[in-house]
Structure 1
């Protein structure tokens, strides 16, 4: 929904501003300089806000993934100890199987969590751009 609304608003803004620029070519004195200057400042502000939102999300994801890697290393060390200390080959195989099964389960959970976090990061990054485009489309419709 956010993406579709952003595309629609962007098309409206581009059409309105292009019309104003064409009008300025035929009547330079009538050029809408205020609108032309907004084109740069608004984009810069929206992209800076999007980058900041993405940075915060990426930092949190990186921190969580780093901790998960450390935790998995500790589990691997524990599993290696269990395998090495097993009294029978069957006990060693059971310890190895428990670790492998647990690893697959944790990996699946990490994948789902990462997918959700990346979707949230995308939404956070698009929100300031969306907000600016929708506000511009609304403002330009009134003019």
Structure 2
């Protein structure tokens, strides 16, 4: 993407310089694409981020609700324990489960955020590469 962007910037800068020296020979179509293509790519990128944020937020919200239910269940078990040893075992089960769930959720979140980044950059990458290919032909 960086290489394609550099090519596009160089080609369009050359077109703009040419337009300054020969206003009648300006490539108005290409110059107008500079704004519309960026707007379309950035809008698609923002939409991808919004979709990802919604999906991640929904999953995290459900995980928080589920964890609250597990904490309530653990508190009930601890409060209902007949001996201090039973209370400690209930507390330990909850704590161990929480660590396991937290680690799994962290890995899942990392994967989701990596995918969100990919989804957000894809329309920008696609536009930059397509522009570079088109401008090489010009």
* Fold shared by both chains (TM-score > 0.5): yes
Q: Deviations over 1:76-118 (max 9, x none)?
A: 0000000001111111111111100100000000000000001
Which of 95, 103, 128 matches 1:108?
Answer: 103
RMSD: 0.7
Does 1:89 find its partner at 2:84?
yes
Structure 1 residue 141, shift from structure 2 partner: 0.3
Cα distance in structure 2, aligned partners of 1:50 and 1:11: 20
Structure 1 residue 26, shift from structure 2 partner: 1.3
Does 1:140 find its partner at 2:135?
yes
Does 1:77 find its partner at 2:72?
yes
The residue that corresponds to 1:41 in the other structure is: 36
The residue that corresponds to 2:54 in the other structure is: 59
Structure 1 residue 25, shift from structure 2 partner: 1.2
TM-score, L = length of structure 1: 0.94
Does 1:119 find its partner at 2:107?
no
TM-score, L = length of structure 2: 0.98
Q: Which runs of 4+ in 1 moved over 6 A?
A: none
Cα distance in structure 2, aligned partners of 1:51 and 1:78: 40
In the alignment, structure 1 segments of 5+ residues that lack a partner are: 1-5
Alignment length (residue pairs): 138
Q: Deviations over 1:21-42 (max 9, x none)?
A: 1111111111111111000000
